[in-house]
């Protein structure tokens, strides 16, 4: 019904020395019972729990805490042994913070000798200013043939619209694409580059293209939807350009076609509703020249045929 008080002035010891025995220090009563291990020592091992050969098992039913409260101190939880040693922080909680690392005033540093692996259904990093990666960053598919995908979303989740969502994807077999979504679920490619370097832009290109070569194994369409007299303009260097001169020329060349049939001729100039105007501002006798070096020249008109010279002379000759 009473208590027990053991006081000693000098070093003391309570030991069980036989093998396979148990020493129990227990506060078995209910209510506000406590088991207190206390030391007034000032050394780094003021309270020393040392297991020479086995393990240490600490179980608690309710919320527990291990704290170091003095300034500029260190609390170390360490698995110092080599080999397959592990330090496991495990939680059976189901909340969004089942395991929480919280530095209220400083930073968190993770510094392994080799790799860090994080395996989660969804992994979120939220930064109020900047998320930065120094060095290489590799994003890969989970399994063979799976694509690697990176999603870039503008705005915050509450105000984000579907067209704010972009996806960058590296697919199996080497295709790379940038896509956008109209419904928030299905992403449509806007720009695709295959493994051979062929670029496909679904919406076309806006503005100048600096490449000096346009090559395709398929038909090439140059088209403008602008309803303007200069809707499509092909221009060589103009006076005032850095490399302008008097030798600039525009050549339309077909090296394979041999047809002379209307609608299928090797080179065709065709206006469905308007006329065709050939004009040269050069003051030269050969300013506009039609030359069939091996065949004939045919001019056919459904209406009147007019040849007009402001110089007053029209010459038609036969070299034969």
What is 271-287 written as a DSSP string?
Answer: -SSS---------STTS
Name, of 52-61, 142-151, 220-229, the range with top average pLDDT: 142-151
Which DSSP state fits 173? G
pLDDT at 239: 66
pLDDT at 241: 61
pLDDT at 7 over 90: no
Q: Do residues 236 and 249 lie in contact, with contact meaning Cβ atoms separated by under 8 Å?
A: yes
Which DSSP state fits 104? S
C-alpha–C-alpha distance, residues 39 and 45, integer Å: 10
CA atoms within 13 A on the CB side of 13: 3
Q: What are phi and psi of 245, to 5 degrees?
A: -165, -155
In-domain check, residue 292: no
pTM for the predicted model, two decimal places = 0.55
Label residue 90 by pLDDT band (50, 70, 90): very high
Strands laid side by side in the 176-181 sheet: 148-153, 165-170, 176-181, 187-193, 199-201
Mean pLDDT, the chain, whole residue set: 89
What is the tens place of the pLDDT at every residue in 238-290? 666 656 677 888 999 999 999 999 989 999 999 999 999 999 999 888 899 88
In-domain check, residue 116: no
Structural domain of residue 155, as residue ranges?
A: 148-201
In-domain check, residue 141: no
C-alpha–C-alpha distance, residues 81 and 55, integer Å: 13
Q: What are phi and psi of 218, to 5 degrees?
A: -110, 180
More confident residue, 244 or 11: 11
pLDDT at 51: 87
pLDDT at 54: 87
Residue found under tokens 């510094």: 111
In-domain check, residue 152: yes
Find the angle CA(216)-CA(270)-CA(257) to the nearest 5 degrees: 45
Percent of the chain scored above 90 by pLDDT?
40
pLDDT at 93 over 90: yes
**Cα separation values, 7 from 4, 15, 66, Å:** 10, 17, 28
pLDDT at 178: 97
Question: What is the mean pLDDT of the segment spanning 86-90?
Answer: 92
In-domain check, residue 179: yes
pLDDT at 244: 63
The H or E element that residue 220 is part of is none
Min mean pLDDT across 65-74, 185-194, 232-241, 277-286 is at 232-241
C-alpha–C-alpha distance, residues 153 and 287, integer Å: 59
Q: Which candidate, 185, 152, 201, 192, places its Cα nearest to that of 170?
A: 192
pLDDT at 258: 94
Q: Do residues 149 and 138 lie in contact, with contact meaning Cβ atoms separated by under 8 Å?
A: no
In-domain check, residue 314: no
pLDDT at 10 over 80: yes
Number of domains in the chain: 1
Label residue 317 by pLDDT band (50, 70, 90): confident
In-domain check, residue 177: yes
What is the tens place of the pLDDT at every residue in 213-236? 777 788 888 888 899 999 999 888
Residue found under tokens 């403008």: 224
Question: What is the mean pLDDT of the segment spanning 102-126?
Answer: 89
Residue found under tokens 């077909």: 254
In-domain check, residue 232: no
């Amino acid at each position: 019904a009473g208590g027990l008080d053991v006081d000693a002035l000098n070093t003391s010891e309570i030991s069980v020395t036989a093998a396979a025995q148990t020493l129990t220090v227990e506060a078995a009563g209910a209510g506000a019972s406590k088991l207190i291990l206390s030391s007034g020592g000032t050394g780094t091992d003021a309270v020393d729990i040392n297991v020479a050969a086995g393990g240490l098992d600490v179980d608690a039913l309710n919320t527990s805490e291990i704290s170091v409260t003095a300034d500029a101190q260190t609390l170390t939880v360490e698995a110092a042994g080599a080999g397959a040693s592990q330090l496991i922080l495990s939680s059976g909680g189901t909340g969004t913070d089942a395991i929480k690392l919280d530095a209220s005033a400083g930073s968190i540093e993770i510094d392994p000798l080799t790799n860090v692996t994080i395996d989660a259904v969804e992994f979120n990093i939220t930064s109020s200013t900047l998320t930065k990666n120094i060095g290489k960053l590799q994003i890969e598919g989970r399994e063979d043939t799976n694509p690697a995908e990176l999603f870039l979303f503008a705005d915050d989740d509450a105000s984000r619209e579907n067209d704010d969502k972009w996806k960058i994807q590296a697919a199996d077999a080497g295709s790379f694409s940038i896509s956008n979504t109209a419904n928030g679920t299905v992403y449509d490619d806007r720009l695709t580059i295959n493994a051979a370097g062929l670029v496909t832009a679904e919406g076309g290109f806006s503005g100048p293209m600096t490449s000096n070569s346009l090559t395709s194994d398929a038909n090439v369409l140059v088209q403008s939807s602008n309803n303007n007299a200069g809707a499509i303009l092909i221009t060589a260097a103009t006076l005032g350009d850095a490399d302008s001169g008097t030798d600039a020329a525009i050549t339309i060349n077909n090296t394979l076609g041999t047809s002379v049939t209307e609608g299928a001729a090797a080179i065709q100039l065709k206006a469905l509703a308007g006329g065709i105007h050939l004009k040269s501002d050069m003051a030269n006798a050969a300013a506009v020249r039609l030359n069939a070096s091996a065949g004939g020249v045919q001019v056919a008109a459904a209406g009147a045929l007019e040849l007009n010279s402001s110089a007053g002379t029209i010459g038609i000759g036969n070299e034969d």
